[in-house]
């Protein structure tokens, strides 16, 4: 067996160690391998397979089985709205959809065969290892405008990047990772699920995040916690109130935060109450993980550490020239090159070409570099990208959805700072006609976005205005909105 390039070596030689636990349901490696072989048989030679990614064992079995079959997995947010779902299945054309029993297919999925994932063992034989450069996942991510794009991640990127994380965090088969992240994005799926499976370790998924549930796990067998800053904010609140909870969290080997900036104040609150200093890492759907603080490294609040093995990072100025200084002050866009990169956006050669400059991927994130090489992210080039609760959301897609509503004449969507979500989505709406029920209309618009796109893209605030600030060219000046 080729340990180096086999994505999940332990599925080829399974034992009775626990692989996955969701509440009171769990699977050992032997059970997982057997169930995954059944899925692989069902998937056959399908090129792409959609997985209805509920936070359940079945999702993990579906992903492991489809990957073993050599298919690319398209994970779907089970709360996805009708418009977004239509786009994703239209774009990715999955040959099959895998879902946990009881799944009721929405209308748009009618043409796609659905296979209910059960945990019964298949023949136990897994197909030969697929090619390293073949697509493993197609993860949908928002841009500034238009519908989400499918990020095609090859097996090589997942394998190489997970090995780099294991090395940086001294992460081994002995670790039990706990988290409550959704299983349709890089953080919860690749790091939080495929990570432990690659190492032959264990993941405990909480189903739904609560500081108490995470602390209970860390008081038990769990050694590591992965979360987005919103989760750490809530953990900090509870740890300050509850010394027992703080003590349980203090037992962790490693707390890791990512997907959005962890404010220095949250870092300090957690370290004061629990004695733990959170390790921060920086990633993206297109690149998996770029940089992070090593387990043995200096856990400085506000810094996302050094490039992981296999990743090259440079900062460039507005003219695209390399920034050579490491003064922790000069800001530049982060460009990335390495074995961690995606191969392109599905069906979007135009967007793929635009995302690269001389073989370097342009992240759109803006950072400084300190004398010891530590990166500090200070912002983003695009104001139309919003990060709320760790989810990436494009202002344009929300504006388009709102403009379809008959009560909306004009709209601008922008981010406002939020202590819990990091950023919250605010929609500035010029109503079409007289407003008779402000609150009712605001709720209706919110629901409209949740239904069409997905609940996490719904505005948390709707502000009605008579007009939007525009420049001489007629372009909306979003920076003037909050004034």
Contacts of 311 (CB under 8 A, 6+ apart): 161, 164, 287, 289, 290, 291, 336, 337, 338, 339, 340
Contacts of 250 (CB under 8 A, 6+ apart): 274, 275, 276
Distance between CA 166 and CA 255 in Å, rounded? 14
Interface with ligand AMP, residue 280, by CB under 6 A: yes
Contacts of 391 (CB under 8 A, 6+ apart): 185, 456, 457
Within 223-242, the residues that bind ligand MLC by CB under 6 A are 228, 230-231
> Which partner from the list ligand MLC, ligand AMP, none does 450 bind, CB cut-off 5 to 8 Å by kind?
ligand MLC
Interface with ligand MLC, residue 147, by CB under 6 A: no
Interface with ligand AMP, residue 387, by CB under 6 A: yes
Q: Name the nearest CA neighbour of 60 among 232, 223, 152, 188.
A: 188
Which helix (H) or strand (E) covers residue 273, if one does? helix 264-274
| Binding residue for ligand MLC, selected from 186, 256, 415, 462, defined by CB under 6 A | 186
- Using the minimum distance from each CB to ligand AMP, give the nearer residue, 139 or 442: 139
Within 41-100, the residues that bind ligand MLC by CB under 6 A are 79
- The 108-147 contact track toward ligand AMP, x by CB under 6 A, reads ---------------------------------x------
Identify the three-state secondary structure at position 436. Answer: coil
Within 442-481, the residues that bind ligand AMP by CB under 6 A are none
Q: Which stretch binds ligand MLC (CB under 6 A): 164-172, 354-362, 386-394, 474-482?
A: 386-394
Q: How far is the CB of 141 from ligand AMP (least distance, A)?
A: 4
Residue 51 has phi, psi (to 5 degrees) of -125, 125
Number of neighbours of residue 72 by Cβ within 10 angstroms: 24
Distance between CA 192 and CA 190 in Å, rounded? 6
Interface with ligand MLC, residue 305, by CB under 6 A: no
Q: How far is the CB of 279 from ligand AMP (least distance, A)?
A: 10
Kindly state the DSSP code that residue 443 receives in the 8-state scheme.
H
Interface with ligand AMP, residue 291, by CB under 6 A: no
| Binding residue for ligand AMP, selected from 135, 147, 258, 459, defined by CB under 6 A | 258
Sign of the dihedral defined by the CA atoms of residues 274, 279, 283, 285, in that order: negative
Kindly state the DSSP code that residue 361 receives in the 8-state scheme.
E
> Which partner from the list ligand AMP, ligand MLC, none does 228 bind, CB cut-off 5 to 8 Å by kind?
ligand MLC
- Using the minimum distance from each CB to ligand AMP, give the nearer residue, 223 or 259: 259
Residues at the interface with ligand AMP (CB under 6 A): 141, 186, 258-261, 280-285, 304, 363, 365, 377, 380, 387, 392
Binding site for ligand MLC (CB under 6 A): 79, 181-182, 185-188, 208-209, 228, 230-231, 258-259, 283-285, 389-391, 446-447, 450, 455-456, 458
């Amino acid at each position: 067996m080729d340990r180096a390039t086999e994505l999940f070596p332990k599925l080829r030689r399974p034992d009775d160690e626990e692989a996955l636990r969701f509440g009171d349901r769990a699977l050992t490696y032997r059970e997982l391998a057997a169930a995954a072989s059944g899925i692989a048989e069902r998937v056959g030679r399908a090129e792409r397979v959609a997985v209805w990614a509920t936070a359940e064992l079945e999702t993990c079995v579906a992903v492991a089985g489809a990957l073993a079959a050599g298919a690319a997995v398209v994970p779907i947010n089970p709360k996805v709205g009708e418009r977004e779902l239509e786009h994703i299945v239209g774009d990715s054309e999955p040959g099959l959809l895998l879902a946990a029993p009881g799944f009721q297919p929405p209308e748009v999925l009618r043409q796609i065969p659905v296979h209910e994932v059960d945990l019964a063992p298949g023949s136990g034989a897994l197909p030969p290892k697929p090619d390293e450069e073949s697509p493993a996942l197609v993860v949908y991510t928002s841009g500034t405008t238009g519908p989400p794009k499918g990020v095609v991640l090859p097996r090589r990127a997942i394998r190489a990047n997970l090995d780099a994380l294991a090395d940086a965090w001294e992460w081994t088969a002995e670790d039990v990772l706990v988290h409550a992240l959704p299983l349709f994005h890089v953080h919860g799926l690749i790091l939080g699920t495929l990570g432990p499976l690659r190492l032959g370790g264990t993941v405990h998924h909480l189903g739904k995040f609560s500081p108490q549930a995470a602390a209970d796990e860390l008081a038990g067998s769990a050694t590591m916690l992965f979360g987005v800053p919103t989760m750490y904010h809530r953990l900090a609140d509870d740890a300050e109130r509850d010394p027992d909870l703080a003590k349980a969290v203090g037992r962790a080997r490693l707390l890791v935060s990512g997907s959005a900036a962890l404010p220095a104040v949250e870092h300090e609150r957690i370290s004061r109450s629990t004695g733990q200093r959170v390790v921060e890492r920086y990633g993206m759907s297109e690149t998996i993980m770029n940089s992070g603080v090593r387990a043995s490294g200096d856990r400085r609040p506000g810094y996302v550490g050094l490039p992981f093995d296999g990743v090259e990072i440079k900062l460039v100025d507005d003219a695209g020239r390399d920034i050579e200084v490491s003064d922790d002050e000069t800001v530049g866009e982060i460009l990335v090159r390495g074995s961690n990169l995606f191969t392109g956006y599905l069906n979007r050669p135009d967007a793929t070409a635009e995302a690269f400059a001389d073989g370097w991927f342009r992240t759109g994130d803006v950072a400084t570099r300190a004398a010891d090489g530590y990166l500090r992210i200070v912002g983003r080039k695009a104001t139309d990208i919003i990060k709320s609760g760790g989810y990436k959301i494009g202002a344009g897609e929300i504006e388009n959805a709102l403009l379809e509503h008959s009560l909306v004449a004009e709209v601008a969507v922008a981010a406002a700072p939020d202590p819990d979500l990091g950023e919250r989505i605010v929609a500035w709406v010029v109503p079409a006609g007289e407003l008779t029920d402000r609150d009712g209309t605001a709720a209706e618009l919110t629901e409209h976005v949740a239904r069409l796109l997905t609940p996490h893209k719904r505005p948390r605030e709707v502000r009605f205005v008579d007009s939007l600030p525009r420049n001489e060219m007629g372009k909306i000046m979003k920076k003037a909105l909050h004034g």
